[in-house]
Amino acid sequence: MSLTNPVRRRSGRPRSERARQAVMLAASELLPELGLRAMTTDRISERSGVSKATIYKWWPSKYAVAVDAFLAGMFAASREPDPDTGSAREDFRQALRGIMRFYSSASGRIFAQLVAEAQFDPEVFAELRDRLVASRRELVRAIWDRGVARGELLAEVDPDVGLDMMFGPAMYRLVAGHGPLTDEAADAVVDAAMCGLSR
């Protein structure tokens, strides 16, 4: 016997899934082609065949569209699995290599532009922090916790500090551009972080 559909369908024409996907697709294509700034709402509308009014109905700004498209599309593709090699150092090495590769890819430039836009728009900032940065940090946090459990890492170090020491340099180089984002750089950072700088 039916329980009368506890999730009551709201009346009226339902939101068009086709329109949502068309917007996501158009934004995913336009972001690498034009960059975040030159990707205008009008162009998303034109490319997707979804009217501007509809876009503004569901997203507060083109940046919200970009964040959604980035998360749904490009970012998902480049998502790294937890390496879990049995060695924290090796896990970190692989995780940081993945991040370095991501940052130095086309998606990395878009990511940098999203982070940049977040500096001007609190909503984008919150969205990015909650949906992107947090999920990344969860992954590496798992590596950290395993390392502590195995006795490889110093339990008395604040994990936030330890993780920032390893992944901060990557972000630093992404936005300031003063150093390379390579596998070698990843390895050097992990090694130095593990052993320390002092004699």
Partner DNA sequence: GGATAAACGAGACGGTACGTCTTGTCTTAGT
Partner DNA sequence: ACTAAGACAAGACGTACCGTCTCGTTTATCC
Region of 5-13, 92-100, 107-115, 124-132 interacting with DNA (CB under 7 A) = 5-13
Give the sign of the dihedral formed by CA 133, CA 115, CA 120, CA 47.
negative
Query: Of 9, 120, 154, 199, which lies in the binding site for DNA, with binding defined by CB under 7 A?
Result: 9
**C-alpha 119: how far from chain center:** 16
1 binds its own copies (CB under 8 A): no
Please give the structure tokens belonging to residue 139. Answer: 């992954």
Query: Of 44, 118, 123, 142, which lies in the binding site for its own copies, with binding defined by CB under 8 A?
Result: 118
Which of the listed partners (its own copies, DNA, none) does 152 bind, with a CB threshold of 5 to 8 Å by partner kind?
Answer: its own copies
7 binds DNA (CB under 7 A): no
The Cα-based distances of 104 to 20, 97, 107, 143, 152 in angstroms read: 29, 11, 8, 23, 30
Region of 16-24, 87-95, 143-151, 153-161 interacting with DNA (CB under 7 A) = 16-24
> What distance in Å separates the CA atoms of residue 186 and residue 180, rounded to the nearest whole number?
9
Between 59 and 111, CB nearer to its own copies: 111
Query: Of 5, 47, 154, 183, which lies in the binding site for its own copies, with binding defined by CB under 8 A?
Result: 154
Q: Between residue 30 and residue 49, which ones bind its own copies under the rule CB under 8 A?
A: 35-37
Between 21 and 192, CB nearer to its own copies: 192
189 binds its own copies (CB under 8 A): yes
Instruction: Find, among 40, 127, 142, 122, the residue nearest to 75 by Cα.
Output: 127
> What distance in Å separates the CA atoms of residue 128 and residue 108, rounded to the nearest whole number?
14
CB-based burial, 102-125: b 16+ in 10 Å, e otherwise = bbbeebbbbbbbbbebbeeeeebe
**C-alpha 65: how far from chain center:** 14
Coil/strand/helix, residue 85: coil
Q: Between residue 73 and residue 132, which ones bind DNA under the rule CB under 7 A?
A: none
Which residues in this chain contact its own copies in the complex, by CB under 8 A?
A: 35-37, 88-89, 109, 112-113, 115-120, 125, 128-129, 133-134, 137, 151-154, 157-158, 160-162, 164-173, 175-179, 185, 188-189, 192-199
Which residues in this chain contact DNA in the complex, by CB under 7 A?
A: 8-16, 19-20, 38, 40-42, 49-54, 56-58, 61-62
